[in-house]
Amino acid sequence: MKYTMEDYAVYEAPSAEATHAPRVPWAGFGVDIVLVLLFAVIGRISHAETMNLPGFLITASPFLAGTVAAWAVLVGRGHPRPGSLLGGTIIWVSTVAVGMALRALTGLSVQGSFVVVSLLFTGSFLLGWRALGDILVRRYSR
């Protein structure tokens, strides 16, 4: 009895994509985290609050939770890309929505003016770098 190569090909290795965890654009994640931290610093300074670590963490952590949650969902799903404007919009809305919900649940202030200012600042921060990146890529990829 003669054997062919097909007789021995009983195992097919998984594709490279199937063996790797989702790729996380760590630089983009880091930029978002730094910008949310900067938002918290600016907020504390503008209200003449002391810059101690516990106070800073109380201010920043609800918003960081929203940012991290959105990134986790986007990376897990693979679409839209977190670095895209659409992904950034989802991260922005999640940052503010989760941040405000956690503030309310923990008894911290959630006034309408604070929600508006939070939306404006985090929106300009989280969408601004993505928009600039899109402009630069289009300009220099021609």
User: Three-class SS of residue 48?
Assistant: coil
- How large is the average pLDDT for residues 36-56? 89
End-to-end CA distance of the chain: 61
The structure tokens 């009895």 sit at: 1
> Is the pLDDT assigned to residue 30 strictly greater than 80?
yes
Number of H helices, E strands in the chain: 6, 0
Reply yes or no on whether the pLDDT at 140 is more than 70.
yes
Is this prediction's pTM over 0.75? Answer: yes
> Hey, how many other C-beta atoms are within 10 angstroms of the C-beta on 4?
7
Q: Token digits for 65?
A: 């939770």
Tell me which of 16-25, 32-41, 44-53, 112-121 is least confident.
16-25
Residues across the chain: 142
